[in-house]
Amino acid sequence: MLKRSLHITDAPVTRSPVALVVAGVVLIAATYGMARFGVGLLHPQMAAVRPGLDGALGPAGTAQFSSYCLAVLVAGRLVRTRARAVVLAAGLSAGVGALGLMLAHTPLTFTAAAFVAGAGAGLASPALVPVLDRAVPARRSGLTQAAVNSGTAVGLIAVGAVVLITRAVATPWLLVALVCVGAGLAVHALAPREPASDASPAAAGPPPGIPRTSRLPMTLPWLLAAATGVVSAYVWTYGPSVVVQDTGLDTGRIGWLWVTVGVGGLLGVLTSRLVELTSPARAFLLCTVGLLLATAAVALTAQLWVAVLALALFGAAYMALSGTLILWGRVLRPEDGGQATAWLFLALAVGQALGAALLGP
């Protein structure tokens, strides 16, 4: 039987691996931090200007998480042989959805646009795993995957800053659309072409320091990911509205909340080190504890400073948790990390869809 590890070299197979990693960070920043989670971030400001959108957040959140699930399923089937095309589709989908959100004036159009925007993130993550594994030396693969996954934090900081600079509701979404499409095109252009044979690897396996295993059951991590998805949906969907309502924060300063989440999320780049020191399962459970504490604090506190600290903790815990899922999937399925990531991120999104539908502010 042909050993897949023999196909992996420590030399990058693309001429610009650093540029590809930067483009990957921007794509995740745009599709996740901007197009996907920007719906909850920007809704209070949009509802203030467009009263017809006041009750649109719940349905839009459910629609967005649902489209993410569908996109992950599609990406999981295609990333082995068409990862570059899936990356491009991710940028285009998120960009079109952002333009729709910019133009939306009714709950129906807002929900439909959120559905399209959410698909971009679901396509991006599973596709970037094999793209990066083919382009980056194996010894750096874990750090690279964690760094790119933390791009969500960069996107949150960017959108939060835009919200602080302008109260216009159209300008942020136009910016998001441009960045999504540009990042998708950049990754597509820089990524190495897929191997001609299906026997070639779709992933580099677990990073150095993490034991290599094969075909371990994914049921437990899938269920754990779904459960944490339910919890995380509360902050992603209702966090800004809850903090504004409970602390009296002016909506013009709401951008600071997501800048805080983003700054905390930058710690997600350390995920690979955490997994190496513990294990994927233990790292995931540690992140889950942080997520639960942060969500409870956001939901219950009336003190702004407590809410700010809780949001920073939430950002750090969530980015590390999602990064751990990527590394966990590559341990469980060394021969196909992209598809394993798709299934685990699908579980996370299923939980988020349920959370957005069942939980309220």
What's the pLDDT tens digit per position in 128-155?
988 888 877 777 777 888 888 888 899 8
Q: What is the residue-averaged pLDDT of the chain?
A: 82
Q: Among 13-22, 55-64, 81-90, which stretch is predicted with the lowest mean pLDDT?
A: 13-22
Let me know: does 293 contact 318? Beta carbons within 8 Å: no
Q: What pLDDT sits at residue 88?
A: 95
Domains of the chain (ranges; CATH) run 15-358 (1.20.1250.20)
Sequence-distant (≥ 6) Cβ neighbours of residue 31 within 8 angstroms: 90, 91, 94, 120, 121, 123, 124, 155, 180, 183
The DSSP secondary structure of 59-112, one letter per residue, reads HHHHHHHHHHHHHHHHHHHHHHHHHHHHHHHHHHHHHHHHHHHHH--SHHHHHH
Tally of CB atoms within 10 A around 243: 24
pLDDT of residue 253: 78
Output 144 or 296, whichever has higher pLDDT.
296
- What is the pTM assigned to this prediction? 0.80
pLDDT of 48 reads 78
- Higher-confidence residue: 55 or 231? 231
Residue-level pLDDT at 196: 58
Residue 26 predicted with pLDDT over 90: yes
Task: Please say if the pLDDT value at position 5 is more than 50.
Answer: no
Which residue carries 């989440």 as its tokens?
Answer: 261
Contacts of 278 (CB under 8 A, 6+ apart): 286
User: 261 with 314: CB under 8 angstroms?
Assistant: yes
For the stretch 170-196, pLDDT in tens is: 888 898 999 999 999 999 999 888 765
pLDDT band per the 50, 70, 90 thresholds, residue 292 = very high
CB 340 within 8 A of CB 84: no
Q: What Å distances lie between residue 278 and 86, 156, 222, 292, CA to CA?
A: 33, 28, 19, 20
Q: How many CA atoms lie within 13 A of 256 on its CB side?
A: 12
pLDDT for the residue numbered 216: 57
Identify which of 39-53, 252-266, 289-303, 347-361 has the greatest average pLDDT.
289-303
Are 129 and 145 spatial neighbours (Cβ–Cβ below 8 Å)?
Answer: yes
In this predicted structure, the answer to whether residue 251 has a pLDDT above a threshold of 90 is no
Check: CB of residue 331 under 8 Å from CB of residue 220: no
Match 């970037």 to its residue by tokens: 128
CA-CA distance, 142 to 74, in Å (whole number)? 24
Reduced to 3 states, what is the DSSP secondary structure of residue 233? helix
d(CA 177, CA 92): 8
139 vs 326, higher pLDDT? 326
Share of the chain above pLDDT 90, in %: 30
Q: What is the pLDDT of residue 15?
A: 57
Burial of 293 (0-12, 13-18, 19+ CB in 10 A): middle
Determine the pLDDT at residue 211: 46
Burial of 320 (0-12, 13-18, 19+ CB in 10 A): buried
Look at residue 4 in the predicted model and tell me its pLDDT. Answer: 34
Reported confidence tier of residue 168, pLDDT bands at 50, 70, 90: confident
Q: What average pLDDT score do residues 101-106 get?
A: 90
**Position 310 pLDDT exceeds 70:** yes
For residue 277, the tally of other CB atoms under 10 A from its CB is 11
Specify burial of residue 235 (Cβ count, 10 A radius: 0-12, 13-18, 19+): buried
Average pLDDT (106-131) is: 91
Q: For residues 302 and 346, is the Cβ–Cβ distance under 8 A? A: no
Tokens 């489209």 locate to 67
